[in-house]
A and B are shown apart, each in its own frame.
Chain A
Amino acid sequence: MPIYDQGYRPYEARAPLHQIRFWPITREALRMILSKRAFLGLLAVSLLPFIVRAIQVYIVARFPDAGRVLPVDGRLFGDFLNQQIGFTILLSIFGASGLIANDLRTGAILVYLSRPLTRRDYVLGKLCVPMALNLAVTLVPALALYGVALALAPDQFFQWELAWIGPAIVVHAFVISLFVSLLSLAVSALSRSARVAGLGFFGLVFGLEMIRLVVQHGFNRSEAMLISFQADLKSLGVALFGLADTELAMHWAAPAAVLLLVSLACLAILRSRVRAVEIVT
Chain B
Amino acid sequence: MSDVAPPITFARASRWYGPIIALNDVTIAIPPGVTGLLGPNGAGKSTFLKLAAGQLRPSQGEVRLLGSPAWGTPALFHRVGLCPEADAFWERLSGLQFLTTLLRFTGYDEEECRSLAEKALHQVDLLDAKDRKLGGYSKGMRQRVKLAQAIAHEPDVLLLDEPVAGMDPVNRRRVIDLVRRLGREGKTILVSSHILHEVEAMTRQVMLIHNGRILAEGDIREIRDLLDEHPHTVSLRARDPRKLAEAIVGWPTVLSLSFGSEGEWLTVQTARPDDFYGALPEVALQAGVTEMYSPDDDLESVFHYLVAR
Contacts and interface: CB of A to CB of B under 8 A. Distances in A.
A58 B20 CA distance: 69
A21 to B, nearest CB: 7
Interface in B68-93: 68, 74-82, 84-90, 92
B149 A111 contact: yes
Nearest to A19: B107
B228 interface: no
B107 A113 contact: no
Given A115-B102, A277-B56, A11 B86 contact: no
A5 B78 CA distance: 19
A11 B75 contact: yes
B292 interface: no
Interface string A1-37: 0101111111101111110010110011000100000
Given A5-B186, A106-B88, A107-B84, A114 B2 contact: no
B1 A24 contact: no
A44 interface: no
B101 interface: yes
B107 A13 contact: yes
A5 B187 CA distance: 9
A277 B71 CA distance: 13
B67 interface: yes
A106 B89 contact: yes
B75 A13 contact: yes
Given A7-B1, A8-B66, A281-B17, A116 B105 contact: yes
A6 B54 CA distance: 22
Contact of A11 (B56, B68, B81, B107): B68
Given A6-B186, A9-B3, A110 B106 contact: no
Nearest to B159: A114
Given A6-B4, A7-B3, A118-B74, A111 B107 contact: no
A106 B98 CA distance: 14
Contact of A7 (B4, B74, B154): B4
Contacts of B104: 18, 23-24, 27
A14 B31 contact: no
Interface string B87-117: 1111010000000011011111100100000
B278 interface: no
B106 A106 contact: no
Given A279-B17, A281-B17, A107 B77 contact: no
A4 B154 CA distance: 16
Given A116-B105, A276-B55, A7 B2 contact: yes
Give the secondary structure class of B's interface: loop
A280 interface: yes
Contact of A111 (B67, B82, B106): B82
Nearest to B90: A108
A15 B108 contact: yes
Contacts of A121: 74
Contacts of B32: 4, 6-8
A15 B67 contact: no
A118 B105 CA distance: 11
A48 interface: no
Contacts of B38: none
A124 B5 CA distance: 36
A16 B105 CA distance: 10
B106 A10 contact: no
Contacts of B101: 24, 28
Interface of A: 2, 4-11, 13-18, 21, 23-24, 27-28, 32, 105-108, 110-118, 121, 276-277, 279-281
20 contacts: A6-B186, A8-B7, A8-B32, A9-B156, A10-B3, A11-B66, A11-B67, A11-B68, A11-B78, A14-B153, A15-B112, A17-B78, A106-B89, A107-B89, A108-B89, A114-B55, A115-B105, A277-B50, A277-B55, A280-B17
| The 8 A-B residue pairs with the shortest CB-CB distance in the complex, in nearest-first order | A107-B86, A281-B18, A4-B186, A7-B3, A276-B55, A24-B104, A114-B82, A115-B105
Given A4-B185, A107-B85, A114-B54, 9 more contacts: A5-B1, A11-B76, A11-B79, A14-B154, A15-B106, A24-B101, A112-B105, A114-B77, A116-B107
